[in-house]
Structure 1
Amino acid sequence: MKKKILGLVAGIALLTTSCLGPNRAFNGLNDWNDNLSENRWANEAVFIGLNIVPVYGLAYLGDILIFNSIEFWGGENPIGDGDDM
């Protein structure tokens, strides 16, 4: 019983600590979508379309797994110059 509780606590501790970084690819996609049109309904339609074709999900996954890892280990983010952090 103690091993199960210890394993659960260790799993929660590992899953709740992270270094996410600035997520520039996802935020850039979101900014592009926000400024796409003056019509908010058109922006919403594009947003829904980009979620059906998993562009938002892939941008976020790429940020977390690739770009933020490169920034963490290499010291600079391949997307952007880092002035807006």
Structure 2
Amino acid sequence: MKNIALKVIGLTALAASLTGCIGSNAVTSKVMKFNVEVVDNRYARAGVNFLLAPVYGITTAADYVLFNSLEFWTGSNPLNGNPHIFDSKVDTKYKINDDLAPSLTDAPIDELSNRTIQTGEMHKIDDNTIQMDIVYNNGDTATLTGVKSGEQVSYYMDGELVSQTTISELEAASSAQS
């Protein structure tokens, strides 16, 4: 029980720390600044950069896991005080206007129904045909039929062709799941 609780706490902490990992990467920026300021020769800077490669890995991890998440959730980076990158004022490509008429904020399509299969009964019609009678959670019904013709299998939903496959593709998918 203790082991499960530790796993749940660990996964929760991991999930929380990985949310909002886009930020200014302040720790990595400080290392980059040091890299540029330590010597004035570009070749020497490249050498310092090579030597600091493991440090960059650590600082990037610290930025992603801790500091960028703090920056995202608090609105400013705790190391440099800059506002979060998503709060920056820039010339945007798509401007969202809060003053739109309500008729323009709804999509002109019917809402999607989230129906799920409540029951499904399989029946063998003959050696080449199977049928599933489906009842959805909202009471709707449907019939799914699979018809084998040689190597080809065609699937029909309420008499309308919806998909086709081959026996070898079905066997490959079945063995991949095993």
* TM range, smaller chain: 0.5 to 0.7
User: Which fold has the larger relative contact order, with Cα–Cα distance below 8 Å and residues 6 or more apart in sequence?
Assistant: 1
Partner deviation per Cα, 1:7-38 (whole Å, 9 max, x = no partner) = xxxxxxxxxxx651111111121122112211
Runs of 4+ in 1 over 6 A off after TM superposition: none
Aligned partners of 2:29, 2:41: CA distance in 1, in Å? 20
The Cα of 1:59 is off from its aligned counterpart by 0.5
1:46 aligned partner, one-letter code: V
Please give the secondary structure, in 2, of the residue aligned with 1:79: coil
Give distance in 2, aligned partners of 1:72 and 1:82: 11
Q: Does structure 1 conserve the Cα–Cα contact (< 8 Å) formed by 2:21 and 2:69? A: no
Alignment partner, residue 48 of structure 1: 50
**Which structure carries more helix by proportion?**
1
Aligned CA distance change for structure 1 residues 35 and 42 (closer, same or farther; 3 Å): same
Deviation at 1:76, TM superposition (A): 2.4
Q: Which has the higher strand share?
A: 2
Distance 1:19 1:56, change over 3 A: closer
- Tell me the TM-score normalised to structure 1 length: 0.65
- What fraction of aligned residue pairs are identical, expressed as a percent? 35
In structure 2, runs of 5+ residues without a counterpart are: 1-19, 86-178
Matching of residue 22 in structure 1 with residue 18 in structure 2:
no
Task: State how many pairs are aligned.
Answer: 65
1:72 alignment counterpart: 72
Q: Which residue does 1:31 correspond to in 2?
A: 33
SS at match of 2:70: helix
CA distance in 2, matches of 1:59, 1:77: 15
